[in-house]
Homo-oligomer: A and B are copies of this chain.
Amino acid sequence: MSIRVARKRSDAYQHGDLRRALVQAGLKLLSEHGVAGLSLRAAAELAGVSHAAPYRHFRDKNALVAAIAEEGFKLLTRAMRTEVEACSSGDVLLRLRAVAHGYVSFALAHPAYFRTIFAERVWLDKNDPMKDSLVAASRESLGVLRGLIDEGIRNGHLRAGDPDQISLAAWSLVHGLSLLIIDGQLGGLCDTPAAIRSVTDSVGRLLQRGIAR
């Protein structure tokens, strides 16, 4: 996907929607140059604006990263929902596997983006006024998984248990697997989409055997 960044016309006094343009620029930088390539100055330049201009819209770099992360969670949520709907099965276990696949696939397709979403500094900055909406976006992402687990427990396809614990286990599993792959720990094990599905499924099945009735 090619990301468009609205540039300020050089004869204009104002940009119009600089905030949005900076977020788009950040996404472009992340996807083209990785985490290290994301800088306020580079984003400002892509938006056709001076390097100090972003400070009218974000109080620091971390605030821009938080805005990008929020956008990222929405994309992650959509990626998981799309997989679940494509599955179109009544079987909760199959749909859980689809969510897992959506999660891992998103991470592999947008590694720098995925890492940025979970970058600690975004989460540990208590004063960020944007934090509420970021947390909301994150909860919605996790909600896709959580909803299926609740449903499985309710209709008896999953063994009775604490849904918080089960969600956390499932989330940890797909999160860890995603990071091990994109950090290169598995030595290029997952190059093809088929290989991704195979690894995700086989790892997921082991947990499923533990939580299924």
Contacts and interface: CB of A to CB of B under 8 A. Distances in A.
A186 B165 CA distance: 12
The A interface is mostly helix, strand or loop, or mixed, namely helix
A82 interface: no
Copies in the assembly, this chain = 2
A132 to B, nearest CB: 13
A61 to B, nearest CB: 11
A86 B124 CA distance: 34
A6 B124 CA distance: 33
A204 to B, nearest CB: 8
Interface stretch (A12-20, A23-31, A170-178): A170-178
Interface in A174-213: 174-180, 182-186, 199, 202-203, 205-211
Nearest to A211: B206
Nearest to A176: B176
Given A120-B111, A185-B123, A210-B206, A171 B176 contact: yes
A55 interface: no
A166 interface: yes
